[in-house]
């Protein structure tokens, strides 16, 4: 192997190392954005779960009031 071949291999390895460094930096930035999106999605999911719970409580209270009103109306009619 000649000295020129050796220098060419070293040059190409340096270029590969530069490219890998750039890729690594971009991956870190992308992971940061993905982590932020995952946090936002988790917060949204938590709010939706709390909303569903509140809706279920409201539906239970309303249905209880309707049943109590129906029972009172039947008792008043008798």
The fraction of the chain above a pLDDT of 70, given in percent, is 100
Query: How many whole angstroms separate alpha carbon 52 and alpha carbon 14?
Result: 57
Distance separating the N- and C-terminal Cα atoms of the chain: 110
> In this model, does residue 67 exceed pLDDT 80?
yes
Element (H, E) at 57: helix 3-77
Query: How many whole angstroms separate alpha carbon 64 and alpha carbon 25?
Result: 59
Q: Is the dihedral of CA 41, 46, 49, 55 positive or negative?
A: negative
Query: How many whole angstroms separate alpha carbon 13 and alpha carbon 9?
Result: 6
> In this model, does residue 56 exceed pLDDT 90?
yes
> In this model, does residue 77 exceed pLDDT 90?
no
């Amino acid at each position: 192997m000649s000295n020129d071949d050796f220098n060419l291999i070293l040059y190409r390895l340096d270029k590969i190392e530069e490219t890998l460094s750039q890729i690594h930096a971009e991956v870190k930035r992308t992971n940061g954005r993905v982590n932020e999106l995952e946090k936002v999605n988790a917060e949204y999911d938590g709010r939706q779960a709390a909303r569903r719970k509140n809706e279920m409580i409201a539906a239970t209270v309303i249905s209880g009031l309707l049943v109590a009103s129906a029972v009172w109306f039947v008792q008043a009619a008798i």
